[in-house]
Structure 1
Amino acid sequence: MKKILVIVVMAAMFVGLLAGCKPQAAQPVTLVFAKGDAVNLDPANVTDGESITVMNNIFDGLVRYKSGSTEVEPDLATSWETSLDGLVWTFHLREGVKFHDGTPFNADAVVFSLERQRDENHPFYQYGKWEYWSWCFGEIAKTEKVDDYTVKITLSKPFAPFLSTMAMFTAYIVSPTNAEQLKDNALSNPVGTGPFKFVEWVRGDHVTLEKNPDYWGEAPKIDRLIFKVIPDPSARFLALQKGEVQGIEFPNPDDLPKIESDPNLQVLTQPGLNVGYLAMNMGKDTPGFQAPFADVRVRQAINYAINKKDIVEHLYKGTAEVAKNPLPPTLWGYNDTVQDYEYNPDKAKELLKEAGYPNGFKTNLWAMPVSRPYMFDPIKIATAIQEDLRNVGIDAPIVTYDWGTYLDKTEAGEHAMCLLGWTMDYADPDNIIYVLLDQDAATVGSAGNVAFYRNSQIHEINMEAQQTSDFNKRVELYEQAQVLIHNDAPWVTLAHSKQIIVFNKNVSGFVLYPTGDYRFENTAIAAP
């Protein structure tokens, strides 16, 4: 009996030892990235980069940019072809893909996602402003289902950048079932086919995503992705130092020496396809219009009054270069022969006097409340501009609102002058010269052109450049446009800034895109 008892006890101990040797379940890997807050979470109904960053990790489009480039490659479409006249594009869709809600991706979802933005009679047209549709997709006449895995998109006229625009967030494919169930509330509960699934959005605090276990592509290397809302750049850096986050965007240039000397951090940087600018409201049909800005001499005077070199040197501190054109110098079509406005307060005063404002005038200067890739601290930059304007007799109190309200109000033309900027969605001059400076984009209430600058010559150039496939001709046209814009001076072009992202040393796999997109499916965190 004792022998039996001993054997039983020893067996129990052996089992216990084996149990103790079992590998522990892997802890979920979470990456926390600090940025500004989103405005909404419908990819077709946003214009701001903070929202787009979240969208890029939830949704897929028919095509996408290759990692780190602006070269288009297949995504939810595996192949495509176009008609000889460039008007009909046929896309062949990837089979076996499911949305995060378990419903199948197919041609019906593509038609739904695009037609809800185009067709005013579509039952979901009422749920969005669809600004980007008019800015970048207005040439689409209709989207049709050929069969379950083939769609045909017909254009009203040839559009040279079409395939590149289809890689944009506006053309991401959403779940029709989710939209049907939630109606306008789908804006805050996005369902796509991408590498991460939406979990929650606590406005002003964070957005949480989790790994999509059924993702059709390569599985993400992290289990959870949290976008922590920290609007202030220096506060982001402090959170990074404390270990509260593993990555930050747009660091304060003042913090860069400390960041670069910290052996536990890494800085990723490259030239950005962007521009930061001051827009002067020329729209007589807008609520914020003021008479001085209808006079080109006043707009040119303001260009002479602002010391851009000083702003870039002392506020951007090596993270940007002075802008003389709307297009960034790394983009094809950039016109380097344009001579920038020099800093010349006396010339500014002379022009103001000629225009009938010898003692200047009072106006307002709107400044963004959040740092952006093209402008890390808009309030500081506005303060510097305010002082330069004061020196030539222009009194411009600074006005600001929360980010979503700021965008709504500037699109409605409630400002006299406003600071804004642009990170390009596709590497084509059309994305700036048309989207930000054409009369088509100057619709009050949904303007991309917040200067409300309407020049018929610019419009004619844009129409010709969109419809020709002759690359050299397109370069020539956009060079002409930059001369006209410089002379008309609807903007003060301030700076083209570098993209700068900071991570802990144990983070790997993150790739910068020229368009400023953040995609985290290949990002990994090494064990400490």
Structure 2
Amino acid sequence: MGKKKFLSWAFLLLLLVSTALYGCSSDNGSEGGEGEGGSEGGSTEEKTLIFGRGGDSVSLDPITVTDGESFKVTKNVFDTLVNFGEQDTEIEPALASEWTPSEDGLTYTFTLEEGVKFHDGTDFNAEAVVKNFERWAAGDGEKFPYYGSMFGGYGDEEGNVIESVEATGDYEVVFTLKRPQAPFLKNLAMSPFGIASPTAFEEAGDAFGDNPVGTGPFKFVEWKRNDTITIEKFDDYWVDGEPKLDQVVFRAIPDNSARLNALLSGEIDLADGITPSDGATIEGDENLQLFERPSMNVGYLGMTVTREPFDDPKVRQAVNHAIDKQAIVDAFFEGRAEVAKNPIPPVISGYNDSIEGYDYNPERAKELLAEAGLADGFEMELYAMPVPRPYMPDGQKVAEAIQKNLADVGVTAEIVSFEWATYLEKAANGEADAFLLGWTGDNGDADNFLYALLDQDNVGTNNYTYYESQELHDVLIQAQSEVDEDVRNDLYMQAQEIIHEDAPWVPLAHSTPLLAGGKNVINFKAHPTGSDKLASVDLE
């Protein structure tokens, strides 16, 4: 065959192939037609999950934040050295395939996964792990709050439990501790300690949280403030078969009713912050499914003990007796919560069930106020949360109920509120007389509640009450350093007795948070920490 004739046939063949390919192409949401299934018989449509949530993230650099809305996203952009179980806090391999602790609990040797890439194409290795920990240890409580809360301090500070982090091979890292820390592995699995690309955070500096780079199943695409955050499938993800989705869009819809309506209309695929009163609506809709997040939280009223009259334990005990917690749970949680009496939920090992909670007793509250020299009561400000949270679906209404309870014992409470970031900042600065807040456990350990929230080491970070007790501190540090689980549990029971007597909080409720999704959402597993990894989630 001559060259010219060959080219003519080639051109005709190319034209036919091009026409066929053009006929097979389809946009998202197109009607079915010939060839839509592709060569393997599967859909060519991109799978985009739209996740409706109550608020925007603060930053996408996980070490700089403490809020759940940030971790919802970063959990899917970053991996940690070790993982929690699918719906529990048991430790499993992640970026570290295995680890060996020394007999004295002072050394942990981690073997890392090989061939893992960061989203910017750089290599994950032992040196990258070292640089992440060096970065965190060089910070402070304002910059990297969780590092100090979980590891006791920064740099050369006496409290910093981590002595050194060394790369002893390309894929081997050795952690040396100053003292044993029982929850060490669980701390490493927490969302704040996602391993970031050193190249990226060194280049970006403080702006790294606007353009995060990890090794996770999804990579960052775009952030429209107070609207949406978009992440997309990382094609070189190191776990075979993940992720299933092509894209996830986190959409901020602060109003509970608007978020529910968006789900009902199909605008979003998944929604968190479903109020207990709307649970029946979801269960009655054949196109939807209701998800219960395993309960591991506490909602509470905190009292700033450095502000009068809350510097007097009798006043704090009086407030505990004044509040009808059962009525609050009945009115606002629709049976999906239990009354709290301790700062940790009953599912946490070391929970002290023998403590008798402060009963609803207005007369006893008046007696305690009189003993404190406040027989005629006093005036105060009560901070009400402006956003729904898993541990408190409606902070404003709960504040109104507390306001009435306090009025019954002669205390006049003025309810105030602020934008969420300002609310947290003012409370952290000790500016509130009393404030509504809560906590979802990060790792399933009592230390993550009692030490993180109420120890004197964490005043001004996660300890918003400014409560300090040397007796409590000594017990909590001993519990941290103890590897015998029974001994640890005894110590945490002692700690709860101290806290109960000093009463810096009114523990209100342990809730079962609700989420909902369309029937087309497959394999979504709500995690008790509130940080849901979406790598195995699919849409049908």
Fold match by TM threshold 0.5: yes
Q: 1:79 to 1:146 in 2, by over 3 A?
A: same
Q: 1:16 to 1:414 in 2, by over 3 A?
A: closer
- Tell me, in whole angstroms, the C-alpha distance in 1 between the residues paired with 2:18 and 2:128: 54
Deviation, 1:248, is: 0.7
- Tell me, in whole angstroms, the C-alpha distance in 2 between the residues paired with 1:381 and 1:247: 26
Counterpart of 2:117 in structure 1 is 98
User: Could you tell me which of 112, 121, 126 is aligned with 1:107?
Assistant: 126
Structure 2 counterpart SS, 1:227: strand
User: Could you tell me which of 254, 257, 262 is aligned with 2:285?
Assistant: 262
- Tell me, in whole angstroms, the C-alpha distance in 1 between the residues paired with 2:186 and 2:400: 38
User: Could you tell me which of 187, 212, 219 is aligned with 1:190?
Assistant: 212
Q: Following superposition of structure 1 onto structure 2, how do residues 115-194 of structure 1 map, counting pairs within 5 Å?
A: 115-119=134-138, 125=139, 129-138=143-152, 139-194=161-216
Q: 1:297 to 1:210 in 2, by over 3 A?
A: same
Deviation, 1:180, is: 1.9
Amino acid in structure 2 at the alignment position of 1:215: Y
Amino acid in structure 1 at the alignment position of 2:59: N
Deviation, 1:367, is: 1.9
- Tell me, in whole angstroms, the C-alpha distance in 2 between the residues paired with 1:520 and 1:275: 25
- Tell me, in whole angstroms, the C-alpha distance in 2 between the residues paired with 1:419 and 1:262: 33
- The 8 Å contact of residues 273 and 513 in structure 2, kept in 1 or not, is answered as yes
Counterpart of 2:475 in structure 1 is 461
Structure 2 counterpart SS, 1:397: strand
- The 8 Å contact of residues 436 and 450 in structure 1, kept in 2 or not, is answered as yes
- Tell me, in whole angstroms, the C-alpha distance in 1 between the residues paired with 2:104 and 2:447: 20
Structure 2 segments unaligned to the other structure (5+ residues):
1-8, 24-33, 39-43, 153-160
Q: 1:12 to 1:220 in 2, by over 3 A?
A: closer
Amino acid in structure 2 at the alignment position of 1:108: E
User: Could you tell me which of 450, 457, 463 is aligned with 2:464?
Assistant: 450
Structure 2 counterpart SS, 1:435: helix
Structure 1 counterpart SS, 2:310: helix
Counterpart of 1:74 in structure 2 is 93
- Tell me, in whole angstroms, the C-alpha distance in 2 between the residues paired with 1:272 and 1:74: 24
Deviation, 1:22, is: 3.9
- The 8 Å contact of residues 197 and 213 in structure 2, kept in 1 or not, is answered as yes
- The 8 Å contact of residues 60 and 193 in structure 1, kept in 2 or not, is answered as yes
Counterpart of 2:31 in structure 1 is none
Counterpart of 2:488 in structure 1 is 474
- Tell me, in whole angstroms, the C-alpha distance in 1 between the residues paired with 2:525 and 2:278: 22
Structure 2 counterpart SS, 1:309: helix
267-276 vs 188-197, which moves further: 267-276
157-166 vs 507-516, which moves further: 507-516
- The 8 Å contact of residues 127 and 184 in structure 1, kept in 2 or not, is answered as no
Deviation, 1:16, is: 9.2
Counterpart of 1:220 in structure 2 is 243
- Tell me, in whole angstroms, the C-alpha distance in 1 between the residues paired with 2:151 and 2:192: 9
Deviation, 1:409, is: 2.0
TM-score by length of 1: 0.92
- The 8 Å contact of residues 189 and 198 in structure 1, kept in 2 or not, is answered as yes
- The 8 Å contact of residues 30 and 223 in structure 1, kept in 2 or not, is answered as yes
479-488 vs 222-231, which moves further: 479-488
Q: 1:352 to 1:102 in 2, by over 3 A?
A: same
User: Could you tell me which of 427, 443, 446 is aligned with 2:444?
Assistant: 427
Structure 2 counterpart SS, 1:396: strand
- The 8 Å contact of residues 278 and 494 in structure 1, kept in 2 or not, is answered as yes
Structure 1 segments unaligned to the other structure (5+ residues):
1-7, 120-124, 284-288
- Tell me, in whole angstroms, the C-alpha distance in 2 between the residues paired with 1:202 and 1:331: 38
Q: 1:484 to 1:521 in 2, by over 3 A?
A: same
Q: Following superposition of structure 1 onto structure 2, how do residues 13-24 of structure 1 map, counting pairs within 5 Å?
A: 20=23, 21-23=34-36
Q: Are positions 1:525 and 2:536 aligned together? A: no
- The 8 Å contact of residues 272 and 516 in structure 1, kept in 2 or not, is answered as no
Cα RMSD, aligned residues only:
2.0
Deviation, 1:170, is: 2.1
- The 8 Å contact of residues 271 and 497 in structure 1, kept in 2 or not, is answered as no
User: Could you tell me which of 107, 119, 141 is aligned with 1:88?
Assistant: 107
Structure 2 counterpart SS, 1:414: coil
Counterpart of 2:515 in structure 1 is 501
- The 8 Å contact of residues 268 and 512 in structure 1, kept in 2 or not, is answered as yes
Amino-acid identity (%)? 48
Q: What is the number of equivalent residue pairs in this alignment?
A: 504
- The 8 Å contact of residues 140 and 148 in structure 2, kept in 1 or not, is answered as no
Deviation, 1:403, is: 1.9
User: Could you tell me which of 27, 32, 39 is aligned with 2:45?
Assistant: 27
Q: 1:210 to 1:525 in 2, by over 3 A?
A: same
Structure 1 counterpart SS, 2:365: helix
Amino acid in structure 2 at the alignment position of 1:509: N
Structure 1 counterpart SS, 2:358: coil
Deviation, 1:84, is: 2.1
Counterpart of 2:332 in structure 1 is 315
Counterpart of 1:44 in structure 2 is 63
Amino acid in structure 1 at the alignment position of 2:116: V
Amino acid in structure 2 at the alignment position of 1:28: E
Q: 1:364 to 1:469 in 2, by over 3 A?
A: same
User: Could you tell me which of 234, 243, 247 is aligned with 2:266?
Assistant: 243
Structure 2 counterpart SS, 1:54: helix
Structure 2 counterpart SS, 1:434: helix
Structure 1 counterpart SS, 2:98: strand
Amino acid in structure 1 at the alignment position of 2:384: A
Q: Following superposition of structure 1 onto structure 2, how do residues 228-377 of structure 1 map, counting pairs within 5 Å?
A: 228-283=251-306, 289=307, 291-377=308-394
- Tell me, in whole angstroms, the C-alpha distance in 2 between the residues paired with 1:263 and 1:161: 43
79-88 vs 154-163, which moves further: 79-88
- Tell me, in whole angstroms, the C-alpha distance in 2 between the residues paired with 1:471 and 1:323: 24
Structure 2 counterpart SS, 1:248: strand
- The 8 Å contact of residues 274 and 513 in structure 2, kept in 1 or not, is answered as no
**Could you list the per-position Cα deviations for residues 143-180 of structure 1 after superposition, in whole angstroms to 9, with x for gaps in the alignment?**
12222211111111110110111101122100111112
- Tell me, in whole angstroms, the C-alpha distance in 2 between the residues paired with 1:345 and 1:326: 22
- Tell me, in whole angstroms, the C-alpha distance in 2 between the residues paired with 1:455 and 1:316: 33
- The 8 Å contact of residues 364 and 396 in structure 1, kept in 2 or not, is answered as yes
Deviation, 1:405, is: 2.1
Deviation, 1:485, is: 1.1
- Tell me, in whole angstroms, the C-alpha distance in 1 between the residues paired with 2:452 and 2:17: 69
Structure 1 counterpart SS, 2:454: coil
